[in-house]
Structure 1
Amino acid sequence: MEPRLTNPAGLLPDVGQAVNILYKSAHTAGVPGSVLELVHLRASQINGCGPCVDHGARAMRKAGETDDRLFAVAVWRETPYFTEPERAALALAEYATRLADRPDAVPDAIWDEAAKHFSEKELAAIVLWIATTNFFNRLNVTTRQQAPANY
């Protein structure tokens, strides 16, 4: 499958600066980088974003993530590899990514579980990073961007 056009974020010069600000905001709020990477990877898997899944998994491996955890992100509920805070963040990522799947898009129980593990500032960063990931997923999937072929 060929891309429909060059990545829109690269064609519009102000987008890069805006994304850098979003990235910096999410990654300087005190949330462990591994949690942000997990929610990025899970949302990208749900949305079928090849470039983001590829990049996310490679970045996590480069940061020292184990294959057991990487291979299990899509089935995190059925594995022992994730901490309670990570599980809460993964659940939040799934619900915030699948907003139209249920009348109460992000139920109180999902939010409350995440709030047990993260401060308001950290929750804001996680939600911002989930939204940013979904933004990139939608750009990439709509324009049929591909994961790089040469690594």
Structure 2
Amino acid sequence: MSTQRMNIQEIDPKAYQPMYAMEKYIHGGTLGEDLLALVKIRASQLNGCAYCLDMHGREARNAGVDNRRLDVLAGWHEAPELYSERERAALALTEAVTLISNGGVTDSTWSRVKSAFDDAEVPVLLMAISAINVWNRLAVSTHQKLPLPAELAGP
């Protein structure tokens, strides 16, 4: 297991303030906590961010996302019956933006998003995808430690 390289919050608490403002904007929209959790988990899977997977998995369960849908999320393309068209469009955009160097966002992905989301929701979705990618990069770069489960934390 890697040692945490840096705790940004301890070194410069102001560093995260713009990210917190972005999160406030994202969560103030109409996307819903369940959809946001799926987007954050899928990007975190692609980026290999254990810290964010742990956090957003808990958030997803708290938002009522069924464990089966979380278990299958990495293979959502193969299980369309488990995800709404809105969720599938968001996940397709999440993958395209997260892996932007693999050909960008195709016209078909963009059309799918525009069919599932209204004009006011698309910027919020793009900001949500962008934000989780920033969080993933910060956590992976610094080897951010997972919080210990209560049963392992001790007294």
Q: Using structure 2 for the length normalisation, give the TM-score.
A: 0.89
Report deviation, 1:96.
0.2
Equivalent position amino acid for 1:82 in 2: Y
Runs of 4+ in 1 over 3 A off after TM superposition: none
What is the aligned length?
A: 149
Could you list the runs of 5+ residues in structure 1 that have no partner in the other structure?
A: none
For residues 11 and 69 of structure 1, the distance between their equivalents in structure 2, rounded to whole angstroms, comes to 38
> 2:115 matched to 1:116?
yes
Larger radius of gyration: 2
Instruction: Give the match for residue 100 of structure 1.
Output: 101
Q: Answer 1 or 2: higher relative contact order, Cα 8 Å, separation at least 6.
A: 1
State how 1:75-94 maps to structure 2 within 5 Å: 75-79=75-79, 80-94=81-95
* 8 Å Cα contact 1:7/1:139 also seen in 2: no
Counterpart code for 2:46:
I
For normalisation by structure 1, the TM-score amounts to 0.91
Distance in 1, Cα, partners of 2:78 & 2:51: 26
Structure 2 residues not aligned, in runs of 5+ = 151-155
Q: CA RMSD in A?
A: 1.4
Q: For residues 10 and 113 of structure 1, what CA distance do their matches in structure 2 show?
A: 42
**Which one-letter code corresponds to 1:66 in the other structure?**
D
Tell me if 1:146 matches 2:123: no
Change (3 A) 1:73 1:6: same
Q: Percent identity?
A: 34
